[in-house]
């Protein structure tokens, strides 16, 4: 048992090194409502606007990852998409939903960008171009959401997987005019990924839990090239560097310092 604790401690320490902002400096742990936030500033500052602050927690309870990153076409890395206001105004990227017409439940989604705007539209622009602003309001909105959803220890403190399986959230995976009709995915059995470190439990990987959010397309082939178990060879160091599982975990999905979420088979 002591050996297991020591090994887990080493893994966590390694994560701290891998996620450091600079050599010798540990990365600041984000507050729950900040976890998963992305700052987009390809063109905002040049236009005299604050950067766009994209909050994953606002969207992930409503839409699947696959819908946004495959059907709509957002890149997986911050700043990678390089979208402009004109793109949104034409119905691409954010404008696919934020067009003043799309509804979610009984709420009409506000329009993001338009080719022309007046001084009265500035407040609408600031709803997205909010980097460094409205912090107290965002924290209050997050707290209100988190109060009704199951808790977890790390990340933003919300167990999104359980929230979906319990029916507390029902993320949409189809957008009219953007998505194509897809046949249901066949259920695949969970499989074990053997641990390479003595005393650390094996990983039980569930395709079912991942395909709810990602389908197949988010992970294959961009993140995992192979589709057969064992094709891709990787280490924890690579995961902490943002490769493979680390492409989502530590950034949006629960962080990898929550070792027991993955290494969850009983120790023999």
Query: Hunting for tokens 């409502």 — which residue is that?
Result: 33
Exposed, middle or buried: residue 128 (CB in 10 Å: 0-12, 13-18, 19+)? Answer: buried
What per-residue confidence (pLDDT) applies to 26?
Answer: 61
More confident of the two residues 7 and 51: 51
Note whether 50 and 16 are same-domain residues. no
Note whether 198 and 238 are same-domain residues. yes
Residue 227 lies in a domain: yes
Residue 95 lies in a domain: yes
Phi, psi of 11 (to 5 degrees): -60, -45
**Dihedral through CA 243, CA 245, CA 246, CA 252, nearest 10?**
140
Residue 168 lies in a domain: no
User: What integer is the mean pLDDT of 115-122?
Assistant: 74
Note whether 87 and 127 are same-domain residues. yes
Note whether 193 and 265 are same-domain residues. yes
Does residue 18 carry a pLDDT above 50?
no
Does residue 15 carry a pLDDT above 50?
no
Note whether 20 and 47 are same-domain residues. no
What per-residue confidence (pLDDT) applies to 203?
Answer: 93
Note whether 192 and 260 are same-domain residues. yes
- Between CA 43 and CA 50 the distance in angstroms is 10
DSSP state string for 161-214: HHHHHTTS---B---TTT----PPPPP---EEE--SSTTSPPEEE-HHHHHHHH
End of a domain among 121, 146, 171? 146
Does residue 199 carry a pLDDT above 60?
yes
What per-residue confidence (pLDDT) applies to 8?
Answer: 44
Note whether 20 and 50 are same-domain residues. no
Residues composing the chain: 268
Residue 87 lies in a domain: yes
Does residue 28 carry a pLDDT above 90?
no
Residue 126 lies in a domain: yes
Note whether 255 and 218 are same-domain residues. yes
Residue 172 lies in a domain: no
Note whether 253 and 219 are same-domain residues. yes
Q: How many domains does the chain have?
A: 2
Note whether 233 and 138 are same-domain residues. no
Degrees, nearest 5: CA angle 58-21-136:
35
The b/e string for 140-171 (b: 16+ C-beta within 10 A; e otherwise) is eebeebbeebeebeebbbbbbbebbeeeebeb
pLDDT per residue as tens digits for the range 36-59: 999 999 999 998 889 999 999 999
- Between CA 60 and CA 212 the distance in angstroms is 12
Residue 166 lies in a domain: no
- Write out the residue range of the structural domain in which residue 73 sits: 38-146
pLDDT per residue as tens digits for the range 70-82: 999 999 988 899 9
Residue 207 lies in a domain: yes
CATH code of residue 43: 3.90.10.10
Note whether 23 and 53 are same-domain residues. no
Note whether 123 and 195 are same-domain residues. no
């Amino acid at each position: 048992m002591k050996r297991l604790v020591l090994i887990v401690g080493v893994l966590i320490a390694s994560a701290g090194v891998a996620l450091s902002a600079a050599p010798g400096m540990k990365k600041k742990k984000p507050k729950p409502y900040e976890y998963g936030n992305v700052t987009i500033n390809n063109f905002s500052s040049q236009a005299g606007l604050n950067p766009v602050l994209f909050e994953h927690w606002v969207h992930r309870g409503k839409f699947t990852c696959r819908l946004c990153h495959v059907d709509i076409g957002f890149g997986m890395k911050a700043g990678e998409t390089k979208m402009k206001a004109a793109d949104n105004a034409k119905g691409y990227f954010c404008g696919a939903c934020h067009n003043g017409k799309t509804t979610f439940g009984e709420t009409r989604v506000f329009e993001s960008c338009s080719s022309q705007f007046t001084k009265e539209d500035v407040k609408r622009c600031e709803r997205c171009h909010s980097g460094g602003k409205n912090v107290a309001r965002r924290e209050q909105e997050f707290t209100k959401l988190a109060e009704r959803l199951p808790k977890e220890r790390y990340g933003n403190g919300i167990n999104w997987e359980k929230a979906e399986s319990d029916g507390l959230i029902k993320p949409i995976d189809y957008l009219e005019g953007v998505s194509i009709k897809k046949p249901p995915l066949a259920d695949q059995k969970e499989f074990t990924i053997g641990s390479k470190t003595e005393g650390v439990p094996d990983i039980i990987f569930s395709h079912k839990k991942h395909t709810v959010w990602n389908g197949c397309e988010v992970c294959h082939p961009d993140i995992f090239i192979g589709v057969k178990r064992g094709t891709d060879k990787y280490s924890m160091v690579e995961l902490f560097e943002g490769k493979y599982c680390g492409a989502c975990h530590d950034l949006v999905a629960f962080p990898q310092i929550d070792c027991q979420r993955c290494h969850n088979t009983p120790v023999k």
